[in-house]
Amino acid sequence: MTILHHLDQTTLLRYASGDLDEAFSVVVAAHLAMCDECRRELRIAEDIGGRLLEESEMATVSDGAFSRIMCRIDEAEASGETILAAPPIALRGGKQDVPSTLQRYIGTRLADISWKTVAPGVRRHKIALSTPTRSALYMLKIEPGKAVPEHGHGGTEMTLILSGAYRDALGRFGPGDLADLDEHVEHQPRVEPGEPCVCLVATEAPTRFKGIFSRLLQPLVGI
Amino acid sequence: MLIAQVALRQDRDAFKSLFQYFGPRVKSVMLRAGADHEFAEDLVQEVMMTVWRKARLYAPERGPVSTWIYTIARNARIDRLRRASSQPYLDLDEIELASGMADGEDRAFASQRAEHVARALDELPDEQRRIIEYAYVHDMAQSEIAAKLELPLGTVKSRMRLAYTKLKGKLEVLK
Ligand SMILES: [Zn+2]
Ligand SMILES: [Zn+2]
């Protein structure tokens, strides 16, 4: 898999500093799970945090803090429970085409997702999050050859392609590619002929649509 | 290495040294991120408890101990201060560990990288460095930074990009 479109640098720093809500961190983590290059970048971005922590001034920690933590450890051990984290087990083999970080949200196979038709040739699956966010997270499955009406964005929109591909003015987006778009971008993606395009999308705020196609797209993002 | 002693033998003296070094720093970061004293103390307990529990999972080829503890503190901040979810971060960590994704990197490279990042941070112009600190230490969103500095959001983003590009430039020599 050759990935051509990566995380924007400011998105990388926002992820590293903990500034993305759950909808967006799911999309970013799924791209990171597929992309060695961005994972290397993330280590640099997290080293910044490590360094700032080291340089940080020292607040006064209450006297009993350390013995309190040791008490908790002793109590846990006395009760026979093991509190030490086990090394994670190697990944399951078998047929799965969903990045592992996404599996808790949509399962292991794209074929098992239940879709709801929201416009001709466009199906959607909403993803439930564990925390409330102002953003929405959903999957889209768009039929080959189908064009999404031209639209701008009321806020940030991130789209991660899981299978199939589309093209817009920014280029071709295939599996693993991430379209990391801020509110200033307008585009009109068209899915390539051949297979449907399945993608994971996070949108920040109500998306604004242009022209008469807006009615088509409103139900698509569910706002 | 202290963390290795905690990992291998649950060495309490080693853990105490880690606590004395990182506890006050983690607390200071939590205070600046908006926690009150009591809450910041709780978060120190939580972060250091995770350090004890996960010491065996610390992988030096991914970065120095300070970076690892920073990520634990960041995740606690996401869950407790922002009331959001750090689950995607935890899942990514797990698959990285389980699949040996970081195996290609070596320890020497990781510690050199961290040294270069440290030096590059020192050399950043104030206006860039401050924005990085607001984001990482004060836990401010980009829009909050823009409001605080009375700058357009686009300027905050471009200063972040500049700072990051400069950091990366210093790392080129390592490749
Ligand atoms: Zn990437
Ligand atoms: Zn769009």
CA of B105 to the centre of ligand 1 (A): 17
Q: Does A128 touch chain B (CB under 8 A)?
A: no
Give the model's confidence band at A16: pLDDT under 50 very low, under 70 low, under 90 confident, else very high: very high
Residue B83 to residue B69: CA distance in whole angstroms: 20
> Minimal Cα–Cα distance from A77 to chain B, Å?
12
Mutate which of A69, A105, A127 to test chain B, going by most B C-beta atoms within 10 A? A69
Strand ranges, E, within chain A: 116-119, 122-126, 136-142, 157-163, 166-168, 171-173, 178-181, 190-191, 197-203
Reply yes or no on whether the pLDDT at A10 is more than 80: yes
Residue A152 to residue A221: CA distance in whole angstroms: 13
Residues B63, A43: contact at Cβ < 8 Å? yes
pLDDT of residue B85: 95
A18: nearest CB among B25, B26, B139: B139
C-alpha distances (whole Å) from A207 to each of A124, A173, A181 are 16, 21, 12
Q: Domains of chain B (ranges plus CATH)?
A: 2-104 (1.10.1740.10), 107-174 (1.10.10.10)
Q: In chain A, whose CA is at the least distance from the CA of B62?
A: A43
C-alpha distances (whole Å) from A7 to each of A158, A178, B87, B127 are 9, 7, 19, 24
Residue A177 to residue A106: CA distance in whole angstroms: 19
The pLDDT tens digits of the residues spanning A89-105 come to 765 555 678 988 999 99
pLDDT of residue B175: 63
Question: Is the Cβ pair A51, B66 closer than 8 Å?
Answer: yes
B88: nearest CB among A14, A25, A65: A25
Taking residues B152-173, report their average pLDDT: 91
Residue B7 to residue A203: CA distance in whole angstroms: 41
B44: nearest CB among A44, A50, A65: A65
A-chain CB neighbours of B63 within 8 Å are: 43, 46-47, 50
Q: What is the pTM of this model?
A: 0.93
The pLDDT tens digits of the residues spanning B26-73 come to 999 999 999 999 999 999 999 999 999 999 999 888 899 999 999 999
Q: Residue A130's closest CA among B84, B90, B81, B91?
A: B84
Question: Is the Cβ pair B92, A50 closer than 8 Å?
Answer: no
Q: Does B22 touch chain A (CB under 8 A)?
A: yes
Residues A77, B57: contact at Cβ < 8 Å? no
Reply yes or no on whether the pLDDT at A214 is more than 60: no
Reply yes or no on whether the pLDDT at B103 is more than 80: no
Q: Residue A178's closest CA among A188, A166, A190, A195?
A: A166
- Give the orientation angle of helix B142-149 with respect to helix B126-136, to 10 degrees: 130
Looking at chain A from residue 81 to 120, which residues have their Cβ under 8 Å from any Cβ of chain B?
Answer: 83-85, 87-91, 100-101, 104
Residues A76, B94: contact at Cβ < 8 Å? no
Q: Domains of chain A (ranges plus CATH)?
A: 1-59+100-223 (2.60.120.10)
What ipTM is given for this predicted complex?
A: 0.96
> Minimal Cα–Cα distance from B41 to chain A, Å?
7
Q: Does A192 touch chain B (CB under 8 A)?
A: no
| Residue appearing with tokens 């600190």 | B133
Residues A84, B150: contact at Cβ < 8 Å? no
A/B interface, count of CB pairs below 8 Å = 206
pLDDT of residue A215: 47
